[in-house]
Amino acid sequence: MQNQGTLMVVSAHAADFVWRAGGAIALYSERGWTVRVLCLTYGERGESASLWKEGKSLEEIKRIRREEAERAADILGAEIRFLDVGDYPIEVTPALRDALVQEFRKYRPDVLLSHTFVDPYNADHPRTAELVREARILAQAHGYPSEYPPIGAPQLYSFEPHQPEQCQFRIDLLLDITPVFDKKRQAMECMQAQEHLWAYYTDVAKRRGVQAGRNSGQPIVYAEAYQRVFPSVGGEFV
Amino acid sequence: MQNQGTLMVVSAHAADFVWRAGGAIALYSERGWTVRVLCLTYGERGESASLWKEGKSLEEIKRIRREEAERAADILGAEIRFLDVGDYPIEVTPALRDALVQEFRKYRPDVLLSHTFVDPYNADHPRTAELVREARILAQAHGYPSEYPPIGAPQLYSFEPHQPEQCQFRIDLLLDITPVFDKKRQAMECMQAQEHLWAYYTDVAKRRGVQAGRNSGQPIVYAEAYQRVFPSVGGEFV
Amino acid sequence: MQNQGTLMVVSAHAADFVWRAGGAIALYSERGWTVRVLCLTYGERGESASLWKEGKSLEEIKRIRREEAERAADILGAEIRFLDVGDYPIEVTPALRDALVQEFRKYRPDVLLSHTFVDPYNADHPRTAELVREARILAQAHGYPSEYPPIGAPQLYSFEPHQPEQCQFRIDLLLDITPVFDKKRQAMECMQAQEHLWAYYTDVAKRRGVQAGRNSGQPIVYAEAYQRVFPSVGGEFV
Amino acid sequence: MQNQGTLMVVSAHAADFVWRAGGAIALYSERGWTVRVLCLTYGERGESASLWKEGKSLEEIKRIRREEAERAADILGAEIRFLDVGDYPIEVTPALRDALVQEFRKYRPDVLLSHTFVDPYNADHPRTAELVREARILAQAHGYPSEYPPIGAPQLYSFEPHQPEQCQFRIDLLLDITPVFDKKRQAMECMQAQEHLWAYYTDVAKRRGVQAGRNSGQPIVYAEAYQRVFPSVGGEFV
Amino acid sequence: MQNQGTLMVVSAHAADFVWRAGGAIALYSERGWTVRVLCLTYGERGESASLWKEGKSLEEIKRIRREEAERAADILGAEIRFLDVGDYPIEVTPALRDALVQEFRKYRPDVLLSHTFVDPYNADHPRTAELVREARILAQAHGYPSEYPPIGAPQLYSFEPHQPEQCQFRIDLLLDITPVFDKKRQAMECMQAQEHLWAYYTDVAKRRGVQAGRNSGQPIVYAEAYQRVFPSVGGEFV
Amino acid sequence: MQNQGTLMVVSAHAADFVWRAGGAIALYSERGWTVRVLCLTYGERGESASLWKEGKSLEEIKRIRREEAERAADILGAEIRFLDVGDYPIEVTPALRDALVQEFRKYRPDVLLSHTFVDPYNADHPRTAELVREARILAQAHGYPSEYPPIGAPQLYSFEPHQPEQCQFRIDLLLDITPVFDKKRQAMECMQAQEHLWAYYTDVAKRRGVQAGRNSGQPIVYAEAYQRVFPSVGGEFV
């Protein structure tokens, strides 16, 4: 099948893309899109508490988190790349920014997904969101040095954070992920060290499904919530 | 052609629907939708300054405004109904609220367009917006008395006010109206008493067109801006 | 046991107090507070869809809803009063406002719970919230006519609406309801016509419990979220 | 001296104009402007606690409050009119709205001062602010019935409420009232029943004076804070 | 003529000052003020797409942009200085921050103009705005090392961004630039590579002129919009 | 007396903790808590204008400011540590961030107090607030390198800035400091170079006391205002 488009997900830590956008990834992958996940870090320091408690070393933890994320990406139908820049905190350097610009230039996403711009519980998340927003702008500029040509204007969405009410998260889109929820659940179950989140994010998907039903009148069971960064453009009220 | 859907526009005064949503109306009408415009008033007191200066009577002004609005609706391809409840100020009564509920029940819109909820320059506009939002809720309730069954969950959009920066207007959608802009211009020219606005709103459409192009990479010349009241629901990032 | 304080809950419709504040009611009732629920309506038109579908009459629906609410209040340990002013829409009249003022004067709440001030899905909820806020002010004024003396300055909280992200709901307090959750569940199960909400609001309580745990380091299983309308006052950081 | 302009202050209760805008009134009066204060009520129920405690009757309280306000207006150099529509709550009727429109048409203010649009401690204040904003719009409309011609576009400012941080009060203008502060103090001292506020509002004026100095580098001792409702227009950065 | 005051404009890229503040510059220059433009960069990478498409080298582009900006500044009556720190992205270094502080200390602006603090389309703009705001604070501090004495408290305004509704742009001031619009147009026409913006920003000026007229009742044809960062201070309602 | 808890105050400059949180410090110290103040700088450049005017050297100023702050901390009953990283501007480095993390790990605060996240008058303040919020997150992470174990979830409050209305300061808590105000006044009087602020912040405490009284009905004379960063958690409406 010919490539129908490219969805790129920029995830601060190894597992964020699964909890927050796993449904979108599976959905678009099934439609013949290239879906590419960029993990800035493995979440080795900030999101691997149970592994540290077991006494694992930093390198072991990174390996375990990497393998889990690879399995999850595989289930969801996505390519995955790890930049391994170190988490808690992620330091935004010119080199990291350039790495994202070159990724965007090379893979030319039609749609970009990343974190919210506010999150009082996690400083890496808003920093990643700002990085993505800026790299997208730089990738559009003719004068930015690259072997690839400038990109157009891909839409950018923030996926739902852990505590949306504390993150100024406004829901602009409830994405129906009912047809692919099984894959999302399987992908979540790859995250051995975070078993408590499997049920938690299943419940989130159900609640968003109920709301999607109420906002549309359609029979939707599972959904993911997204906030749009730029206006939609097109010929339809959607 | 079979009815493809129903778009309903609730306009506080006779001409609002032309300046603010004329493109959307023409676009959807051409696609085979039923488009229905509800004017709560003729704008006889608040938006007919030049006619008052000419010494016209209230009844003459209402007749002139009505005829202009009918011609404009005709050009755009819309049905039009006038409730004639009196403007400046529009008084929201239980009877008016019920009239809207029954309209929504009878005509069953898929999409609703109306004013913004904030407008320090015009108290009739936010009042109309709140009225529409509430009538939509009432029309959904099984227990609300009516000869028609409850409606589903039509999307509601606010169209662009005259001074958007003062009205907390956030652009969620730039609707490409390039293919139908000629009709919008013709409809605007029906408003004889407001000739100064023809060029003004042509310029607005051009500026929104430029922005639509920059936000999408598509060649768009004319656009209208809309703010969404409820989340989008569906299977696509749009 | 001597009265330890008075908690008053003002509910637009008969069941709101159960889903949104059932835990708080049970908690305070167990502590020896008087808890008093004021239902402005039975939710007979707006929140009884399944009863209407069964062909029940308005009077039957009001009776059923009343009995369910009374049973729920009984389980939670609260007194309940119905004002029966008619819902969808609730019309705020001077008489209704005065009824609330006299209630506040007579029962002298230490804490007031009601709806949010924004809710695009339900116009009765913000209207009730504004009514409560104003009646509280009037009840404080020496010159307001009443056989009871003016009240002090009871704190006012908004309980969590159905779609908090659309209602500008900010969480100021996560109330630990773990010890009384069983009662809340039993009270919810009194609402025969809304069985789909039992699991939904159990999930909400669990999610708020997880967040309460993360925000405090305490082992909390179930919680309810509240937004404070006025500043806290006291001698402690809480 | 020829009239240099007209400043109109719309005060919900008899004393608001003194605490919140007394400096502005004295300043403009000294410059040869007509300053006209409109009190919707005497604040007889809501802001006369000490008189009620003394056992005064409603009529006595209204008379006392009227006399105090008249003395204060006299000291400040303002005309004063009482509409006596009853406070706590002020009910906004079509007749009251029309009274304001006719006032604006007849006296043709260049600048309007009134309350903020948010005040959780006082429902009469935002109601008055909305009334003023709407009456100003109606007074501008050619079609609104009146024996006086339409007005232009007077600037509208909100004066500082009692608890600005709870009222979304943004300071757009710090007005230097140093030259007339003595008059404001004298006017405040006319309010016998609110002696505790004399020092309070002297302190507020001092604090705003300090801030005015820091924001301008000028030696300012007393100031009043205002929020602008519409943009400034002119040829200067001010 | 003696210097009447100093207006300083800090522009992220070479042409920003023309589109966004050209009218203000010409106006104040005609009044005998020193107007000084500081361009942090030439906009060589981010805002010179057409020159890159023509195959120009980085150095050629910088030279062309510099010459255009110099011609425009000359027409408007302003001095201009280029810091040439490199755009897309502008990296804010201690050295750059100090350069601005020393500029402010040496030239002692009465009024400062720069970008908005939010702009999702351009990361250099908010970064410049924050830099200016901080350099202004540092320039006020007695302890900051410099050969020039501390400055007072110049007002700081944000000029209008390209897509104001997406940038939280609130209009606080509509500046009447009718008398100098011809100069602004001539200055815009110096920007050979951005011919599409000449008409665009002429339309913006007209629309702001219409709004200025409506907000003041004065006959204004062209205006520029500004947002104030600090409160105004003075003895007049303006 | 056994340690009852630990309150930690992070102050950008040497005197901030006195004006803004002196009452809280004295209150908790009297209750047997360990109170620990961390001053990132002495405020030697930005907040020592009068010492610079007297011709003091940088080292002298730092010594004077240090001694004053030590005396004030002693009166209030707090330990104090100076990081001396240099002010105006404070540069946030990885080393500084780590220093805070290790402090939090070692001293394990139950409550953290620091600056607001917005302050257009002082760039060091929001930078310190963000630093504290992030260091708190890092100190919670099991994988962050340290000789001390991870901390729980201490509440974080912003204390009141100099111009709260310009800093988006929302009052969530009015802390009654009446019993310890004398100590706060004594501590303020240690700041010899800022005598003009003694009366200013006494007035602020009085005004907040009046508001605390009005919001609670309790007799409170002096209070401090705080904004909460995370939700409260517990079993009480407070």
Distance CA D115, CA D130 (A): 9
Peptide bond into C154 cis (omega under 30): no
In DSSP terms, E34 is beta-bridged to: E6
* Residue count (chain D): 238
Output phi, psi for A43, to 5 deg. 65, 30
Q: What integer best gives the mean pLDDT of chain C?
A: 96
Query: Cβ distance D222 to D178 under 8 Å?
Result: yes
CA angle F71, F74, F80 (to 5 degrees): 90
The answer to whether B195 and B138 are in contact (CB under 8 A) is no
Chain C CB within 8 Å of residue A202 CB: no
Instruction: Give the DSSP letter string of F225-236.
Output: EEEESS-EEESS
Confidence bin at C1 (pLDDT 50/70/90): low
Which residues in chain C have their CB less than 8 angstroms from residue D46's CB? 137-138, 141, 143-144
Chains that touch C (3 or more CB pairs under 8 A): A, B, D, F
Q: How many CB pairs under 8 A join A and F?
A: 39
> Residue F94 has which token pair?
């990885």
- Asked if residue F224 belongs to a domain, the reply is yes
- Is there a contact between C144 and C136 (Cβ–Cβ < 8 Å)? no
Chain-chain contact of A123 with F143 (C-beta, under 8 angstroms) = no
Q: Do C225 and A200 touch (CB under 8 A)?
A: no
Residue A91 is classified by DSSP as P
Residue A47, helix vs strand vs coil: coil
Cβ–Cβ under 8 Å, residues A147 and A159:
no
Give the HSE-up count for residue C167: Cα atoms under 13 Å, Cβ half-sphere.
24
Q: How does pLDDT run across A76-94, given as a tens digit for each residue? A: 999 999 999 999 999 999 9
pLDDT at E64: 97
B abuts F (3+ Cβ pairs < 8 Å): no
In a domain, B236, yes or no: no
Output the domain CATH number for residue D53.
Answer: 3.40.50.10320
The CA distance from B101 to A28, in Å, is: 39
Question: What DSSP element (H or E) covers F10?
Answer: strand F6-11
Are A216 and B175 a contacting pair at CB < 8 A? no
Six-digit token string for B32: 């085979």
Tokens of D43: 């604040």
Beta strand B173-176 with B155-159: parallel, antiparallel or unpaired? unpaired
Mean pLDDT by 10 residues, chain E (238 residues): 88 97 98 98 95 96 97 98 98 98 98 98 98 98 97 97 94 98 98 90 96 94 98 92
Q: How confident is the model at residue A1 (pLDDT cuts 50, 70, 90)?
A: low
> Is there a domain that residue C238 lies in?
no
- Expressed as residue numbers, the domain containing E77 is 6-228
Identify whether F233 is part of a domain.
Answer: no
Partners of B82 in beta bridges: B39
Establish if C234 belongs to a structural domain.
no
Residue D1 predicted with pLDDT over 70: no
Q: D69: exposed, middle or buried (C-beta count within 10 Å: 0-12, 13-18, 19+)?
A: buried
Distance of CA B123 to CAs B12, B39, B90, B91, B127, Å?
10, 16, 8, 11, 6
**Contact yes or no for D175 and E237 at CB 8 A:** yes
DSSP reduced 3-state for D9: strand
Spatial distance between the Cα atoms of A164 and A201, rounded to a whole number of angstroms: 13
Q: Hey, what are F76's tokens?
A: 């209030």
DSSP secondary structure code for residue D142 in this structure: T
In chain B, which residues have pLDDT < 50? none
Q: Is residue F64 part of a domain?
A: yes
With contact defined as beta carbons under 8 Å apart, do D13 and D43 qualify?
Answer: yes
Closest by alpha carbon to D134, among D182, D101, D169? Answer: D101
Contact C124, C12 (CB under 8 A): yes
Q: What is the mean pLDDT of residues A159-188?
A: 97
Average pLDDT of every residue of chain D: 96
CB distance A158 to A144 below 8 Å? no
Q: Are the CB atoms for C80 and C33 separated by under 8 Å? A: no
pLDDT in tens, chain F (238 residues): 577 999 999 999 999 999 999 999 999 999 999 999 999 999 999 999 999 999 999 999 999 999 999 999 999 999 999 999 999 999 999 999 999 999 999 999 999 999 999 999 999 999 999 999 999 999 999 999 999 999 999 999 999 999 999 999 999 999 999 999 999 999 999 998 788 899 999 999 999 999 999 999 899 999 999 999 999 999 998 8
CB contact under 8 A, B200 and E214: no
**E168, two tokens:** 């939280």
Residue D99 CB neighbours (<10 A)? 18
- Is E225 an interface residue toward B (CB < 8 Å)? yes
Q: Which amino acid is at D117?
A: F
Confirm if A25 and A76 have CB atoms less than 8 A apart.
Answer: yes
Of C111, C153, C157, the CB nearest to F216: C153
Which residues in chain C touch residue B141, judged by CB atoms under 8 angstroms apart? 45-46, 49, 88
Assembly ipTM? 0.95
pLDDT at F40: 98
F216, C175: Cβ pair inside 8 Å? no
How many Å is the Cα radius of gyration of chain E? 17
- Establish if B156 belongs to a structural domain: yes
Query: How far is F20 from F184, CA to CA, in rounded Å?
Result: 10
Interface test with F, best of D165, D202, D221 (most F CBs within 10 A): D165
CB contact under 8 A, A225 and C165: yes
Are the C-beta atoms of residues D21 and D113 closer than 8 Å to each other?
A: yes
Among D69, D90, D95, which Cα is nearest to D80's?
D69
Q: Are F118 and E118 in contact (CB under 8 A)?
A: no
For residue C196, what pLDDT is reported?
86
Type of residue found at E65? R
Whether residue F68 contacts residue F191, with contact meaning beta carbons closer than 8 Å, is answered with yes
Put simply, the answer to whether E207 touches B200 (Cβ < 8 Å) is yes
Of C113, C180, C105, which Cα lies nearest the Cα of C148? C105
- Is the link from the previous residue into C149 a cis peptide, with omega within 30 of 0? no
Q: What pLDDT is stored for residue E230 in this prediction?
A: 97
Asked if C152 has any chain D CB less than 8 Å from its own CB, the reply is: no
Q: Are B175 and A237 in contact (CB under 8 A)?
A: yes
- Using alpha carbons, list the distances in angstroms from residue C50 to B140, C65, D15, D21, F196: 13, 12, 54, 56, 69
Both tokens of residue E6? 């100093």
Between A28 and D4, where is the model more confident? A28
Provide the domain count of chain A: 1
Q: What's the average model confidence in pLDDT over C30-41?
A: 97
**Contacts of residue F48 in chain E, CB cutoff 8 Å?**
142-143
Taking the C-alpha atoms of residue F144 and residue F141, their distance in angstroms, rounded to an integer, is 6
Let me know if residue C158 belongs to a domain: yes
Return phi, psi of residue A127, to 5°. Answer: -65, -40
Residue C77 pLDDT greater than 70, yes or no: yes
B14-36: buried (b, 16+ CB within 10 Å) or exposed (e) per residue?
Answer: bbbbbbbbbbbbbbbbeeebbbb
Report pLDDT digits (tens) over D56-89. 999 999 999 999 999 999 999 999 999 999 999 9
E176 bridge partner residues: E223
How many Cα atoms are found within 13 Å in the side-chain-facing hemisphere of B82?
20
Q: Is A141 left (phi over 0), alpha (psi -120 to 50) or beta?
A: beta
Answer whether A204 sits within 8 Å of C207, measured CB to CB.
Answer: yes
Which of B165, B203, B206 lies nearest to residue E170, judging by beta carbons? Answer: B165
